[in-house]
Amino acid sequence: MGTVILTWNIQWGRGADGHVSLARQLKQAREMAEFDVLCLQEVTSGFSDLPGRPGIDQWSELADALGSEYTVITGFALERHNRAHAQRFGNAIATRLPVHYIRRHALPCPPDATPYMPRMAIEAVVQAPFGALRVVTTHLEYYSEPQRAAQIDALRAIHTEGCVRTNQPSVLGTEPEAGPFRPLAQTTATIVCGDFNCKPDSMPKRLATVPFTREPALHDAWEIAHGTTPQPPTFGVHDRAGWTEPAYACDFMLVSEPLKPRVLRLEVNSATQASDHQPILLELRND
């Protein structure tokens, strides 16, 4: 078996039946595969009044449920306080691979007179069996295409910066090896995944895979695995409450050029009703 990365917008654990259960979602994720990296969007704490009434702190719930084998990485896109009460909404990465380092990136939200919520991306460089691997997970703006386009640009910049640093010699100067200036592991092997909140033929999605001048391009892993066969819908498949538009794909896995030959399979779980989105599984060859 290769290295397995799974991405899923879990809607704070809420299924099409209205019931919130992180345990149900983790069970169904594990039925797909024993994942090495699990990327989640719409994780919450302090939002107990959301439909289904999620628990107090879902990042802690995930850590407890997955146990010591996994490192759970938090990513707060929104954090607001009312005296002692804090509300947080964002992403998570859980991985059983060794973690080199983590960066958290606030994504741009250029004003355009639409409802919006702050967005962020978690960048984690982990050690896969084949080498260092950069995993970036995010949840882009729903209402505004200009904001999504700006956020795609920022995700591309994260990949570009990592590639440039990979090709530069590490310099410590007079700084001690044990201090915070110790060089970080770099790689051109990048995965960008999550809920892009746009359709496959939309401008922001097309922008994501525009070739770079020098750096390795990002590619849609579905197209690598399945060619011209359209990706199955990942949103609006089972949970149709208040929704009239046909279901469509908006959750994607992008991989950089060095990972193209490693793509073994990419699957969408179209059967599960444990969220309003469908999970996606990517398996990479280790040899």
Return the axis-axis angle of helices 22-32 and 58-66, rounded to nearest 10°. Answer: 50
At residue 200, the pLDDT reads 96
> How far apart are the C-alpha atoms of 119 and 39, rounded to whole Å?
15
| Domain assignment of residue 143, yes or no | yes
Enumerate residues 6+ apart whose C-beta is below 8 A from 120.
75, 76, 77, 90, 91, 104, 105, 106, 107, 138
Tell me if 209 sits within 8 A of 215, measured CB to CB: no
The lowest-confidence range among 47-51, 74-78, 136-140, 272-276 is: 47-51
**Average pLDDT score over residue span 6-31:** 97
> How far apart are the C-alpha atoms of 36 and 108, rounded to whole Å?
30
Give the chain as a 3 state SS string. Answer: CCEEEEEEECHHHECCCCCECHHHHHHHHHHHCCCCEEEEEEEEECCCCCCCCCCCEHHHHHHHHHCCCCEEEEEEEEEEEECCEEEEEEEEEEECCCEEEEEEEECCCCCCCCCCCCCEEEEEEEEECCEEEEEEEEECCCCCHHHHHHHHHHHHHHHHHHHHHHCCCCCCCCCCCCCCCCCCCCCCCEEEEEECCCCCCCHHHHHHCCCCCCCCCEEEHHHHHHCCCCCCCCECCCCCCCCCCCCECCEEEEEEHHHHHHEEEEEECCCCCCCCECCEEEEECCC
> How far apart are the C-alpha atoms of 90 and 119, rounded to whole Å?
8
At residue 175, the pLDDT reads 86
| Domain assignment of residue 175, yes or no | no
pLDDT tens digits along 149-201: 999 999 999 999 999 999 888 887 888 888 999 889 999 999 999 999 999 99
At residue 253, the pLDDT reads 98
Q: Among all chains, which residue has been given the structure tokens 């700084």?
A: 175
At residue 79, the pLDDT reads 97
16: number of CA atoms within 13 Å, CB side? 15
pLDDT at 242 over 90: no
Q: Among all chains, which residue has been given the structure tokens 């449920």?
A: 65
> How far apart are the C-alpha atoms of 88 and 81, rounded to whole Å?
9
| Domain assignment of residue 226, yes or no | yes
**Average pLDDT score over residue span 143-153:** 97
| 131-139 and 190-195 beta bridge pairing | parallel
pLDDT at 241 over 80: no
pLDDT tens digits along 45-100: 999 999 999 999 999 999 999 999 999 999 999 999 988 899 999 999 999 999 99
The residue segments making up the domain with residue 239 are 3-167+183-284
More confident residue, 243 or 177: 177
| DSSP bridge partners of 73 | 93
At residue 243, the pLDDT reads 77
Question: Could you give the percent of the chain with pLDDT greater than 90?
Answer: 90
pLDDT at 140 over 80: yes
Give Cα 206 distance to the centre of its chain.
18
What's the structural domain count of the chain? 1
- The Cα-based distances of 18 to 40, 91, 99, 240 in angstroms read 19, 21, 35, 12
pLDDT tens digits along 34-48: 999 999 999 999 999
**Average pLDDT score over residue span 138-147:** 97
At residue 167, the pLDDT reads 87
pLDDT at 275 over 80: yes
| Domain assignment of residue 177, yes or no | no
Burial of 171 (0-12, 13-18, 19+ CB in 10 A): exposed
At residue 171, the pLDDT reads 80
| Domain assignment of residue 178, yes or no | no
Q: Looking at residue 224, which CATH number applies to its domain?
A: 3.60.10.10
| Domain assignment of residue 176, yes or no | no
